[in-house]
Chain A
Amino acid sequence: MSDITKTGAIIVEKTSPATGIISMVLKCPQVAKEAKPGQFINIYCNESSMLLPRPISLCEIDQEEGTVRIVFRIAGKGTGYISHSEKGDSLEIMGPLGNGFDLDKAKDKRALVIGGGIGIPPMLELFKRLNCEKCAVLGYRDEIFLKEEFDKYGRCEVSSEDGMHGTKGNVIDAIKAEGLEADIIFACGPMPMLKGIAAYAGEKGMDAYISLEERMACGIGACLACVCRSKETDHHTNVHNKRICKDGPVFDYREVEL
């Protein structure tokens, strides 16, 4: 009845690319078949004290293998629970959810693909698929991860808060230091970074599509828990709110209030 599937998914690979960060490849052909870069899946904890699914962005999608990859930080009880699952275990998942990035927007343009912290993994599949002049800019606090995977698909610059890797500072500092020029930005990361990118894009008159996050419940647009403020009245909610799980998580920065 729908492109969204709720299914068991076997963990076929599990690694830890950095301290407190887990990478899992999940076998789920139906989800992989429909998934687009920038979309996410709900992971259900099979534990009755945790009722709400955990929304986790897709890092990679392999339709041929019928797998998706997730890379997440152990941030609380739910992600801690998920991290205890091992290769061969099954996770209950639902997806793909959300709108994802629109690759067509980058056609014939120069694109910057920007990720900050745990907002880096959702950018990998997009970076891989973009068929235009492109550069990735990854912002880390200290320990770097996934960089060599971005390197495989194009130029990749890095910033770190401690200056140990790449430009010292944030992703905007790296863009300026490297003199990167582009027409369109795709980004995911913490709110201060997204606000900085929105300001930068506004200044330069660039297009920018940013992926937002918020605490979610249903993940399908019914409960209205995960809204963001929209500049115009939203056609569905009929108020100045858009549903991040359904209308997003990717928005044109010009349509939302950050």
Chain B
Amino acid sequence: MELKNNVSDASFMPDMSVNIGSVRLDNPVTTASGTFGSGAEYSQFFDLSRLGAVTTKGVANIPWEGNPTPRIAETYGGMLNAVGLQNPGIDLFCKRDIPFLRRFKTKIIVNVCGKSTEDYLSVVERLADEDIDLMEINISCPNVKEGGIAFGQDPKAVEAITAAIKKVAKQPVIMKLSPNVTDITVMAKAAEAAGADAVSLINTLTGMKIDVDRRRFVLANKTGGLSGPAIKPVAVRMVYQAANAVKIPVIGMGGIMNAYDALEFIMAGATAVAVGTANFTDPLASVKVVDGIRDYMIKNNIRSLDEIRGCVR
């Protein structure tokens, strides 16, 4: 029975492409911001052109020093990070990182962070003339005192910053949402209402770890963002809820370690997916997800991801 569905014809190549706003990605896999730098370090291991898109580490209008160390802690099936959005600032980023990424046949998603609306807008305006494909606005970082998550936990604030950014943005805008909210659909709808081209979720869940022997916090920042497979069921649930609440594409992420994890998100309704923490466990994790999704499609005679997207109802 199953054999009948297996495609032995090697010429069968599934269409893995997806659209985010006006931008077409060759496949649905990107990287989760902050886990992949701007790709240079990982390009030692594989051709970045094999990814649908590279999502860069968050960049602000000026360089940020980030938080004191220790910045990370492993937890059971996950990790906490409180890097604090250390970044080189938009000027060096535009000069160095964008031209580097342009050498590859992948789409460039620039993650933007800020402490105030003006900060965000100055980066978005600066990116208007740059050769990038999409921007992702981080309104959900739990590790910086000002900005970040403060914009992402109140629907009115989500709507206001989305609208302000859309007014000046030349590229399609993805709003990256926080899971540290009571109802994710309210935030997704607020972003959509203000003109967002897509939403991405989830960012990390705020967590804490205490060193019992030393009787102190493991992270210098006390709290950090929890990521990895430990949070995947929460992420799949939220992506499902968001995808059913808005018409714009949802980019799903949170603990994706392999293609089956990614397919869960797609079946929950995600248009694209991002691989994050898994990049630390295996630098090839993101391309392995691309290959695994393709294998699944071939094996199950799926010609387009539309056939399985949101198939659970």
**What chain B residues lie within 8 Å of A221 (beta carbons)?**
37, 41
When C-beta atoms are compared, the residue in chain A nearest to B279 turns out to be A218
Contact between A225 and B83, CB atoms less than 8 A apart: yes
The answer to whether B74 has its CB under 8 Å from any CB of chain A is yes
Q: Interface on B for A, CB 8 Å cutoff?
A: 34-37, 40-46, 57, 63-66, 69-74, 76-79, 81, 83, 86, 88-89, 92, 228-229, 257, 277-284
| 18 A–B contacts, CB within 8 A, in A order | A2-B44, A51-B74, A51-B229, A51-B281, A214-B70, A217-B280, A218-B279, A220-B283, A221-B41, A222-B35, A222-B36, A222-B279, A224-B37, A224-B83, A225-B71, A226-B71, A227-B69, A238-B92
Q: Which stretch (A42-50, A83-91, A157-165) binds chain B?
A: A42-50
Contact between B37 and A222, CB atoms less than 8 A apart: yes
Contact between A239 and B44, CB atoms less than 8 A apart: no
**What chain B residues lie within 8 Å of A222 (beta carbons)?**
35-37, 40-42, 57, 279
Contact between A1 and B65, CB atoms less than 8 A apart: no
Contact between B281 and A239, CB atoms less than 8 A apart: no
In the A-B complex, the 10 residue pairs with the closest CB atoms: A238-B88, A2-B44, A222-B37, A222-B41, A225-B72, A220-B41, A217-B280, A238-B63, A215-B70, A239-B65
Q: A215-B73, A219-B280, A222-B42 are in contact. List 15 more A-B contacts (CB 8 A).
A: A49-B76, A49-B77, A51-B228, A52-B280, A53-B281, A215-B71, A215-B72, A218-B280, A222-B57, A223-B34, A223-B280, A237-B86, A239-B65, A239-B86, A241-B86
**What chain B residues lie within 8 Å of A224 (beta carbons)?**
37, 57, 66, 71, 83, 86
What's the A-B contact tally at a CB cutoff of 8 Å? 116
When C-beta atoms are compared, the residue in chain B nearest to A4 turns out to be B44
**What chain A residues lie within 8 Å of B279 (beta carbons)?**
218, 222
The answer to whether A147 has its CB under 8 Å from any CB of chain B is no
**What chain A residues lie within 8 Å of B35 (beta carbons)?**
218, 222-223
Contact between A217 and B79, CB atoms less than 8 A apart: yes
The secondary structure that dominates the A interface is loop
A236 to B97, CA, bound (A): 11
Specify which of B36, B65, B78 lies most central, judged by the most chain A CB atoms within 10 Å of its CB.
B65
Candidates B37, B42, B69, B257; contact of A214 at CB < 8 Å: B69
The answer to whether A240 has its CB under 8 Å from any CB of chain B is yes
**What chain B residues lie within 8 Å of A77 (beta carbons)?**
74
A49 to B228, CA, bound (A): 10
